[in-house]
Amino acid sequence: MDAVSVIRTKRDKGRLTDAQIDWVIDAYTRGEVADEQMSALAMAILLNGMDRAETARWTAAMIASGERMDFSALAAPTADKHSTGGVGDKITLPLAPLVAACGAAVPQLSGRGLGHTGGTLDKLESVPGWRASLSNAEMMAVLREAGAVICAAGDGLAPADKKLYALRDVTGTVEAIPLIAASIMSKKIAEGTGSLVLDVKVGSGAFMKNLADARELATTMVGLGADHGVRTTALLTDMSVPLGLTAGNALEVRESVEVLAGGGPADVVELTLALAREMLDAAGLRDADPAKALADGSAMDHWRRMITAQGGDPDAPLPVSREQHVVTAPASGVLTSLDAYAVGVAAWRLGAGRARKEDPVQAAAGIEMHAKPGAEVTAGQPLLTLHTDTPERFGYALEALDGAAEIAPPGTPYEPSPIVLERIAPDA
C-alpha cells in the first residue's frame, strides 16, 4: 500500500477500498504519510466525494486510531448533543443539566470557539474556578454526582481526526461534507454515548449557509451513527439570527442561568426543550417532561451540582467588561433583520473569540441585543451594547456591524422563521 496509489484512486473518481482507508488513516496518524500527501487526498475527496460506505469506514478508521470510552457502568442511559456551531448558541449549558434532571446521563465533550462561532468551554471558563480538563475517572465521578458533565475531549479520542482537522483548516478542504461528518462522528462515537442528537445550524451565522447542504450533512451524520450502532437524529435549526439576546462568554452563561431559573429568551427556551425531548426520546425516556424540570428547579439543581463538581462556584459573580458602547436605532420602524454572522464577527473582534486555537479570549467581551427581528423600534433607542476590556476594539467591531440591522417602515409585516426547520431521522 502506498499514498500515491490511494490519492490516484480518489483523484480518478474511484472508490477507496476498506484496506486503503484503514491503511492511509493509520499511516498518516503514525507520520508515514506526509501532510502534503494527505492534503492531496483531502482535496480529491472534496472534489469527488465519498459514498456512505466509504465515509463509514473512514469514520471507523479514525475511531480506531485512539481509545473508546465506556459508560456502561452508569445506571442511567447516556445521551449527547452536538451543535455545528453558531452565534449566541449557548444551548449546551442549560440542556445538559436539564436532560440529566429527566433521568439521562449526559457526557458532553465540547470544544472552544474559533472565528465567529462561540465555544462551550470558553463560555464555562468565565465561571470562577470551573475546569474544562478532566481525566476519564473525574468525568465519571461528575456524571455520578450531577448526571451531566461538560468537558474537553482527551487526547486519546480519535487522534487521527485531530491531526487531519488541523490540516484541512490550512488546505482549503474544510468544506468536504464526508470529512466534516466523519470528523464530528468519529469523536462522538469514540466518546461512547448510547444516543446522539445533532443540532445542524443553517443560515448566515452557521457553517452551512443553505438548507440543502445542511440536510446533506445531517443525513450523512445520522447514517454514520446508525452504521456504528449509535441511535442518532438531527434537527436543522435556524441560524440567520443570533440565538437569544447575548453573544459572548460570560454574557451567555448569565442568559443560560436565566433559562434554568425558568426565564430567558423564548427562542433559547424553545430550542433547549426541542433538543431535550429528542435526547430523552433517543435515550428511551419518552415519559420525561423537560418543561416540568425547568419549572420545578430540578434542572437548576443539576447545573449547580455540575459546576461545583468541576471546581466552579455557581454563586460567584460573572466577569463584567470594563468598557461598553451602545449602538442605537438609526430610524423608527420594524427591525426586520439582524445578521447572525455580522454579530458573531463583531463579538469575536471585541475579544469574545479567537482567530487561532492558541489565542486567549476575554470572558466579559461580547454583545447584548436589546431587540430582535419583528420588534418595533424607535430612532435613538439602544439596539446593541458592545462589551470589551479593550476599547480600541470598538471601531473594528462596528465595521463588522455595518448594515447588520435592517429597519423597515412602521407597520411592515414580519414573518419569523421557525427555530426548528426539519428533523432528520435514521433510515429505519
pLDDT at 333 over 80: yes
The answer to whether residue 82 is catalytic is yes
CATH of the domain at 121: 3.40.1030.10
Annotated catalytic residue within 80, 89, 122, 161:
161
pLDDT at 359 over 90: no
327 & 363 share domain: yes
Our count of domains for the chain comes to: 3
The answer to whether residue 289 is catalytic is no
Of the pLDDT bands very low, low, confident and very high (cuts 50, 70, 90), residue 428 is very low
User: How far apart are the C-alpha atoms of 314 and 127, rounded to whole Å?
Assistant: 7
Residue 279 is predicted with a pLDDT of 98
Q: Which three cell numbers stand for residue 109?
A: 465533550
User: SS3 for 202?
Assistant: strand
**What percentage of residues in the chain have a pLDDT greater than 90?**
91
340 & 272 share domain: no
377 & 341 share domain: yes
137 & 243 share domain: yes
The answer to whether residue 65 is catalytic is no
DSSP result, 67-131: -----TTSSSPBEEEEE---SS--THHHHHHHHHHTT-BEEEEE---BTTB--HHHHHTTSTT--
Beta bridge partners of 79: 195
Residue 358 is predicted with a pLDDT of 75
pLDDT at 357 over 80: no
The answer to whether residue 13 is catalytic is no
The answer to whether residue 161 is catalytic is yes
Q: Is 170 contained in some domain?
A: no
Annotated catalytic residue within 57, 82, 163, 231:
82
Question: Rounded mean pLDDT of the chain?
Answer: 95
DSSP result, 336-359: EEE-HHHHHHHHIIIIIS-SSTT-
Q: What is the pLDDT of residues 285-323, one digit of tens each?
A: 999 999 999 999 999 999 999 999 999 999 999 999 999
Annotated catalytic residue within 83, 183, 195, 240:
183
Q: Is 168 contained in some domain?
A: no
User: Do 41 and 3 touch, CB atoms closer than 8 A?
Assistant: yes
Q: What is the pLDDT of residues 9-43, one digit of tens each?
A: 999 999 999 999 999 999 999 999 999 999 999 99
Annotated catalytic residue within 57, 90, 116, 187:
187
367 & 272 share domain: no
69 or 169: which leads in pLDDT: 69
Q: What is the pLDDT of residues 119-141, one digit of tens each?
A: 899 999 999 999 999 999 999 99
User: SS3 for 385?
Assistant: strand
265 & 199 share domain: yes
Annotated catalytic residue within 90, 163, 168, 393:
168
pLDDT at 155 over 90: no
294 & 348 share domain: no
Distance of CA 105 to the CA centre of its chain: 19
Residue 348 is predicted with a pLDDT of 94
Q: Is 165 contained in some domain?
A: no
Q: What is the CA radius of gyration of the chain?
A: 22
Residue 239 is predicted with a pLDDT of 97
**CA-wise closest residue to 187 among 96, 68, 46, 278:** 68
Domain that holds residue 12: 3-49
Q: Which are the contacts of 212, defined by CB distance < 8 A and separation ≥ 6? A: none
Residue 116 is predicted with a pLDDT of 81
237 & 93 share domain: yes
**CA-wise closest residue to 7 among 36, 29, 30:** 36
Q: Find the length of the chain.
A: 428
348 & 293 share domain: no
Of the pLDDT bands very low, low, confident and very high (cuts 50, 70, 90), residue 170 is confident
Q: Which three cell numbers stand for residue 111?
A: 470544544
pLDDT at 112 over 90: no
14 & 149 share domain: no
275 & 207 share domain: yes
The 10 Å Cβ neighbour count of residue 212 is 10
Distance of CA 380 to the CA centre of its chain: 35
